[in-house]
């Protein structure tokens, strides 16, 4: 399919999300749409998929202008979309999920599963998807679930596949496999629109790259361009992708956990006998695919989840099952995974959020009465120091962009006297500029001789920040390695293969 | 980012079309329009005048005039009965006489508003903490029982007796509030269910107290308590002879308003309350002890409701009976709507209380002088709250433009959020 978007403009009130965007996808081409969060990629895809209607511009498929009233029409015209969040029924089999809504019937009300299963087996084989049609979806790893989504689109005769940030949930090996699948799809003549903000993937797989910034196409690039060039095109200025770190001189042990066992919300063991230690002047990066117990581990350390057994020690003090207040007072700085849920009160001002966990500490309060002058002074200083972009310190935190919201949390935590910084997914959903900034702050903190634990599912981040890298799989530490270890080896650890791990 | 631009932008936000103040004002107008429609469709004289246009070819102007006269008379008597009667005011100003009569409407409004302000402040503080205190009425009743007991059965000089009576009322409310607070904090019991049921327990206890304990008026078989000692009463400010009922209770209310403002805006504990209300998980992550907050908010909210109960008894009836704060007189329930209307902010609650009191007092005057039932005032009160609770609706009706930063704000969240 040859797809052409001509002058697509989509406005939300006074905000222009897409401004005269024109791109062309040739048959058999992998066209990469590169842009930061909020650049307008998702809006454009929703327009293409019939979920939003453009204010201006037209969609042309194989030379014929089309208008989609809804996504059903887009599907009928051969457009398939693999969403970031899968739209699958977990308890159904692969076949049932694929045919859902389009069941081939033998006679009235009898689904022809045999035909459906055979179809899936055939398509799966054709594109090396390697999916068992009879498997129950919830038993499949995330990477395979994604392939089921792709299968679903292909079974509806999609000629153009939209992949919206498909790699966010995958291990490095799964990402490689996905790239192979994309290549074989393209080879078979399918067109692919690949949306991402990850430079490595773009370079690996794209035929053509279109870069979008603030709703506009700012240029096209070649896969051969360097990551630095792509990043500066995407951000609109030069970006420093590598973080300057002073030489690694670990000091005394600051933080230690021993044989920690923690249960998740369903009562199942999520952290199964984890032991870690972090020394002064060191960043220990905890890698792993999401959902392998990292969240529960972090919550247990922060005092927000009950510890079944084992100990947590901070500066010689036992903080196992201590209240969040005691843990904070013991010197933990915490940048939580979900900033909207745990890190900020969005309906309160930037100034209040900057003292969220120190409202009673001098000078912010005296005899139970808040010192608003000190709160204001603190906010003005931190807004300046941490370059938080806000029209006023009295604006609600909700009015800030994601990057600036994260800066509020980073500023709050790093401005307290800390013995130990724990940051969980510290740059999730941030633009490249903000990522650069947050990384710099974390490394500066470490360079001053502080101990940090960084939990991240982004391998790039783990490699950029970690002095040592611990990999977590299925509630256990599958290995602790040096940052010079190859991505492949770490990727293997992320899938639980421990044989090759070397301990440092 | 200077201070003056901050102030300017905050001022602009306050009066932009979707600000709470604008919405409340529009809601009041809409409520009055709705009230007018109800008057039109329920008053035979008006309906007949419109019918006559077709039956006896009378002039449409006659119908319009009759409609305007009747609706006007209703709202005029509502205004003069609750705020001030302009001719009476002119008379008092020119002759210097009749001030008592001139000030009676506003005095009545203030008398009704006083306990309402106190109770609503308690409900508002709970709302800001994310807690729905439906038990304010029961807490007020228990405060009334405790206060009336101290006021009528202990005897001492005024200077100790009044504070002690008020404290007893406060304590009664604290006790009634402690129960749902502790149950929620330690067992997770939902406060809405517990407080609703507790209301009935307290009502039963009220009957027991005024029928079967020494609190009952000696020599009485009825459900009525002893009279409170004059030394424990909140006396009329202008003396009994003036006939103006507005009492020293108004200073108690003023003190509560100042306390609530300081507590919510300036105190560390109030900050914890607001953080808990706005985002409970972030509150926990920030080291706030949510269990302690749950208990404390109920102690404060219940205490204020109890204080409202005793202020009501000590400034108006000076005794309590089996119907104390039951049914239409349930200020604890009115307090919920008032707190919502006032957006749980101290000054908002003061204005909302005054509005509700004025509509109630004016409604009585309207019923007396025009025969339109008092229920119309209740309909207007309810309509105002409905319009405030659905800002989107008001916005749609008036096609308001949203202010640049603020989105339409809801007064409160649902039960479980």
Q: Got the DSSP string for B39-55? A: HHHH-HHHHHHHHHHHH
Q: How many angstroms separate the CA of residue B389 from the nearest CA in chain A? A: 18
**Is the minimum CB–CB distance between A334 and chain B shorter than 8 Å?**
yes
Give residue-wise pLDDT tens across range A383-441: 999 988 888 999 999 888 888 899 999 999 999 889 999 999 998 877 777 888 899 99
- Which DSSP string corresponds to A390-434? -S-TTSBGGGS-HHHHHHHHHHHHHTS--SEEEEESTTTT--HHH
Q: How many interchain CB pairs under 8 A, A with B?
A: 79
Distance from CA of A90 to the nearest CA of B (A): 27
Within 8 A of A323 by CB-CB distance, chain B residues are 287, 289
Instruction: Select from A346, A360, A380 the Cβ nearest to the Cβ of B268.
Output: A360
Higher per-residue confidence, A219 vs B228: B228
**Nearest CA to CA, how far is B263 from chain A (Å)?**
8
**CB spacing of A341 vs B278 below 8 angstroms:** no
Instruction: Report the pLDDT value the prediction gives residue A244, as an integer from 0 to 100.
Output: 77
**Whether B213 contacts B155, CB under 8 Å:** no
Contact B10 A372 (CB under 8 A): no
CA distance B3 to chain A (A): 9
* Tens of pLDDT, residues A10-19: 988 777 889 9
Statement: residue B416 has pLDDT above 60: no
Question: Does residue A210 have a pLDDT over 80?
Answer: yes
| The pLDDT value given to residue B162 | 96
- Contacts B281 to A, Cβ<8 Å: 341-342
Would you state the pLDDT for residue A458? Answer: 84
Instruction: Indicate whether this complex's ipTM tops 0.90.
Output: no
Summary count for chain A: helices (H), strands (E)? 16, 22
* CB nearest A342 (choices: B9, B262, B285): B285
B289, closest residue in chain A (CA to CA):
A325
Count of other CB atoms within 10 angstroms of residue A503: 9
Measured between beta carbons, the chain A residues lying within 8 angstroms of B269 are 368
Name every residue whose Cβ is closer than 8 Å to that of residue B383 and which is 6 or more positions away in sequence. B27, B30, B31, B34, B35
Percent of chain A at pLDDT above 70?
Answer: 97
Name the least confident of A65-74, A424-433, A456-465.
A424-433
Q: Which residue has the higher pLDDT, B58 or A314?
A: A314
Measured between alpha carbons, how far is A59 from A174 in angstroms, rounded to an integer?
Answer: 33
Decide if A11 contacts A57 (C-beta within 8 A). Answer: no
What is the widest separation between alpha-carbon atoms in chain A? 79
Nearest beta carbon to residue A342 from set B1, B269, B281: B281
| Yes or no, beta carbons of A357 and B266 under 8 Å apart | no
CB contact under 8 A, A356 and B284: no
Position B399 pLDDT exceeds 80: no
Please tell me which of the candidates B9, B271, B285 has its beta carbon nearest to residue A324: B285
Contacts with B279 from chain A: Cβ below 8 Å: 341, 344-347
pLDDT for B4 equals 56
* ∠ Cα B61 B62 B66 (to 5°): 115
Please check the confidence at residue B404 and state whether its pLDDT lies above 80: no
Contact A357 B278 (CB under 8 A): no
pLDDT in tens, B161-220: 999 999 999 999 999 999 999 999 999 999 999 999 999 999 999 999 999 999 999 998
pLDDT of residue A424: 94
Which of B282, B344, B402, B404 to mutate to probe the A interface, most A CBs <10 Å? B282
**Residue B185, both tokens:** 């904090």
Interface-testing mutation among A300, A338, A347, A351, with chain B (most B C-beta atoms within 10 A)? A347
Determine how β-strand A307-314 pairs with β-strand A30-35: unpaired
pLDDT-based confidence at residue A69 (cuts at 50, 70, 90): confident
Does residue A389 sit at the B interface (CB-CB below 8 Å)? no
* Chain B residues touching residue A365 (CB < 8 angstroms): 268
pLDDT at A130 over 60: yes
- A188 at interface of B, judged by CB pairs closer than 8 A: no
Q: Is the pLDDT of residue B414 over 60?
A: no
Kindly list the structural domains of chain A, giving each domain's residue range(s) and its CATH number in brackets, ordered by start: 3-235 (3.40.50.300), 241-331+417-504 (3.40.50.300), 350-416 (no CATH)
Q: Which residues of A touch B266 (CB under 8 A)?
A: 369-370, 372
Which has the closest alpha carbon to B365: B106, B113, B114?
Answer: B106
3-class SS at A16? strand
What confidence tens digit (pLDDT) does each residue in A149-205 have? 888 888 888 899 999 888 877 778 888 889 999 999 999 999 999 988 788 888 889
Lowest mean pLDDT among A42-56, A456-470, B4-18, B75-89: B4-18
pTM for the structure as a whole: 0.80
Name residue, tokens 């506009």. A216
State yes or no: pLDDT of A242 exceeds 80. Answer: no
pLDDT digits (tens, 9 = 90+) for B42-92: 989 999 999 988 888 888 899 999 999 999 999 999 999 999 999 999 999
CA–CA separation, A405 vs B368, rounded Å?
A: 59
Give which of A458, A396, A451 is closest to A421, Cα–Cα.
A451
Nearest chain A residue (CA) to B3: A392
Instruction: Select from A369, A370, A392 the Cβ nearest to the Cβ of B6.
Output: A392
Q: How many CB atoms lie within 10 A of CB B212?
A: 10
Position A502 confidence tier, pLDDT thresholds 50, 70, 90: very low
Residues in chain B: 417
Are the beta carbons of B268 and A368 separated by less than 8 Å? yes
Arithmetic mean of pLDDT, A68-97? 87
Q: Is A325 on the interface with B (CB under 8 A)?
A: yes
Structure tokens that stand for A412 in this block? 């709050």
The yes-or-no verdict on residue A235 having pLDDT over 50 is: yes
What chain B residue is nearest to A323 in terms of C-alpha separation? B287
Specify whether the CB–CB gap between A501 and A479 falls below 8 A. yes
DSSP letters spanning A163-211? EESTTTT--HHHHHHHHHHHHHHHHTT-EEEEEES-HHHHHHH-SEEEE
Could you tell me how many helices (H) and strands (E) chain B has, helices first?
17, 0
* A423-433 per-residue burial string, b: 16 or more CB within 10 A, e: under 16: bbbbbbbbbbb
Which residue in chain A has the smallest CA separation from B406? A399
Structure tokens at A89: 């029924």
pLDDT tops 70 at residue A104: no
pLDDT band at A129 (very low <50, low <70, confident <90, very high): confident
Which stretches of chain B sit within 8 Å of chain A by CB?
A: 1, 5-6, 9-10, 262, 266-269, 271-272, 274-275, 278-279, 281-289, 405
CB atoms A348 and B268 under 8 Å: no
Closest residue, chain A, to B286 (C-alpha): A357
The residues that bridge with A194 in the sheet, in sequence order, are A32, A163
Contact across the interface for B266 and A370, Cβ inside 8 Å:
yes
* pLDDT interval class at A501 (50, 70, 90): very low
Which pLDDT does position B15 carry in this prediction?
Answer: 53
A333 touches chain B (CB under 8 A): no
A260 and A300 Cβ atoms separated by less than 8 Å: yes
Instruction: Tell me: pLDDT of A106 over 90.
Output: no
Contacts of B285 in chain A (CB under 8 A): 302, 304, 324, 334, 336, 342-343, 357
**What distance in Å separates residue A449's CA from the closest CA in chain B?**
25
To the nearest whole Å, the CA of B401 is away from the closest chain A CA by 11
H helix or E strand, kind and range, residue A376: helix A372-385
Strand A332-335 vs strand A420-424: parallel, antiparallel, or unpaired? parallel
Would you state the pLDDT for residue A503?
47
In order of start, what are the domains of chain B with their CATH numbers?
110-354 (1.10.3470)
Tell me the percentage of chain A whose pLDDT exceeds 90: 46
Selected residue with higher pLDDT from A366 and B113:
B113
pLDDT band per the 50, 70, 90 thresholds, residue A84: confident
In this complex, do A328 and B286 lie within 8 Å of one another by their Cβ atoms?
yes
Ranges A227-241, B232-246, B259-273: which has the least confidence: A227-241
pLDDT on residue A166: 85
pLDDT at A288 over 60: yes
Give the pair of three-digit tokens for residue B305.
């409701």
Above 70 in pLDDT, residue A227?
yes
């Amino acid at each position: 399919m040859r797809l052409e978007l001509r002058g697509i403009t989509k406005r939300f009130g006074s905000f222009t999300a897409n401004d005269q965007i024109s791109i062309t996808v040739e048959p058999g081409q992998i066209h990469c749409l590169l842009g930061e969060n909020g650049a307008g990629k998702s809006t454009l895809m929703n327009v293409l998929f019939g979920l939003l209607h453009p204010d201006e511009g037209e969609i042309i498929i194989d030379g014929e202008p089309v208008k989609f009233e809804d996504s059903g029409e887009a599907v009928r015209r051969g457009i398939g979309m693999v969403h970031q969040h899968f739209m699958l029924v977990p308890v159904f089999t692969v076949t049932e999920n694929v045919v859902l809504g389009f069941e081939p019937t033998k006679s009235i009300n009898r689904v022809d599963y045999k035909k459906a299963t055979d179809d899936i087996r055939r398509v799966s084989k054709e594109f090396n998807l390697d999916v068992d049609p009879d498997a129950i979806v919830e038993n499949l790893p995330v990477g395979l679930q994604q392939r089921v989504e792709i299968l679903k689109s292909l079974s509806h005769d999609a000629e153009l596949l939209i992949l919206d940030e498909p790699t966010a949930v995958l291990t490095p090996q799964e990402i490689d496999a996905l790239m192979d699948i994309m290549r074989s799809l393209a080879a078979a003549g399918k067109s692919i629109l690949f949306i991402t903000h990850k430079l490595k993937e773009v370079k690996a797989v794209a035929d053509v790259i279109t870069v979008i910034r603030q709703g506009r196409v700012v240029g096209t690039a070649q896969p051969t361009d360097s990551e630095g060039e792509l990043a500066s095109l995407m951000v609109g200025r030069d970006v420093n992708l590598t973080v300057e770190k002073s030489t690694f001189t670990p000091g005394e042990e600051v933080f230690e956990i021993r044989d920690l066992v923690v249960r998740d919300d369903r009562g199942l063991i999520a952290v199964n006998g984890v032991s870690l230690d972090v020394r002064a002047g060191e960043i220990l990066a905890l890698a792993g695919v999401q959902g392998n117990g990292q969240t529960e581990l972090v919550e247990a350390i922060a005092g927000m989840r009950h510890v079944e057994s084992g100990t947590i020690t901070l500066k010689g003090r036992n903080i196992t099952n201590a209240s969040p207040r005691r843990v904070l007072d013991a010197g933990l700085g915490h940048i939580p995974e979900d900033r909207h849920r745990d890190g900020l009160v969005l309906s309160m001002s930037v100034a209040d959020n900057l003292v969220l966990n120190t409202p009673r500490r001098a000078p912010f309060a005296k005899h139970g009465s808040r010192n608003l002058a000190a709160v204001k002074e603190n906010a003005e200083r931190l807004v300046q120091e941490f370059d938080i972009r806000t029209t006023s310190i009295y604006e609600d935190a909700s009015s800030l962009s994601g990057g600036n919201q994260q800066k509020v949390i980073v500023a709050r935590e790093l401005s307290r006297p800390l013995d130990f910084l724990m940051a969980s997914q510290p740059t999730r959903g941030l633009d490249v500029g903000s990522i650069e900034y947050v990384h710099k702050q974390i490394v500066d903190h470490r360079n001053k001789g502080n101990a940090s634990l960084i939990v991240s599912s982004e391998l790039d981040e783990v490699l950029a920040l970690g002095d040592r890298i611990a990999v977590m799989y299925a509630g256990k530490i599958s290995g602790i390695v040096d940052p010079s270890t190859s991505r492949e080896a770490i990727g293997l650890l992320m899938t639980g293969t421990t044989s090759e791990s070397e301990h440092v | 980012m200077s201070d003056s631009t901050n102030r300017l932008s905050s001022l602009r936000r306050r009066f932009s079309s979707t600000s709470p103040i604008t919405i409340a004002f529009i809601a009041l107008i809409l409520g009055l329009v709705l009230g007018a429609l109800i008057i039109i469709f329920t008053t035979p004289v008006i309906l007949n005048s419109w019918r006559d246009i077709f039956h006896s070819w009378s002039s449409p102007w006659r119908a319009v005039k009759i409609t305007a006269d009747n609706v006007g008379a209703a709202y005029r008597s509502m205004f003069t009965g609750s705020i001030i009667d302009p001719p009476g005011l002119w008379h008092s100003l020119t002759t210097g006489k009749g001030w008592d009569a001139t000030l009676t409407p506003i005095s009545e409004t203030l008398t009704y508003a006083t306990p309402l302000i106190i109770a609503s402040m308690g409900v508002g503080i709970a709302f800001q903490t994310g807690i729905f205190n439906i038990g304010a009425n029961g807490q007020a009743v228990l405060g009334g029982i405790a206060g009336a007991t101290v006021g009528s059965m202990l005897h001492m000089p005024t200077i100790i007796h009044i504070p002690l009576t008020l404290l007893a009322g406060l304590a009664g409310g604290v006790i009634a509030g402690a129960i749902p607070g502790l149950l929620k904090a330690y067992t997770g019991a939902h406060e809405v269910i517990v407080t609703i049921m507790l209301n009935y327990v307290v009502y039963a206890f009220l009957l027991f107290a005024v029928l079967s304990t020494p609190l009952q008026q000696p020599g009485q078989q009825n459900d009525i308590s002893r009279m409170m000692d004059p030394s424990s009463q909140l006396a009329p400010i202008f003396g009994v002879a003036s006939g103006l009922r507005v009492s020293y209770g108004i200073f108690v209310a003023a003190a509560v308003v100042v306390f609530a403002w300081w507590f919510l805006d300036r105190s560390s504990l109030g900050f914890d309350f607001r953080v808990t209300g706005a985002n409970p998980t972030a509150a926990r992550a920030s080291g706030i002890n949510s269990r302690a907050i749950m208990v404390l908010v109920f102690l404060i909210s219940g205490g204020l409701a109890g204080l409202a109960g005793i202020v009501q008894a000590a400034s108006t009836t000076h005794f309590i009976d089996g119907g104390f704060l039951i049914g239409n007189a349930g200020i604890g329930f009115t307090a919920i709507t008032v707190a919502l209307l006032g957006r749980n902010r101290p000054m908002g609650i003061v204005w909302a209380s005054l509005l509700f009191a004025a509509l109630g007092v004016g409604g009585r005057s309207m019923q007396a002088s025009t025969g339109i039932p008092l229920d119309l005032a209740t309909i207007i009160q309810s309509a105002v709250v409905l319009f405030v609770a659905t800002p989107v609706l008001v916005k749609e009706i008036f096609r308001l433009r949203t202010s640049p930063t603020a989105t339409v704000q809801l007064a409160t969240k649902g039960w479980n959020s």
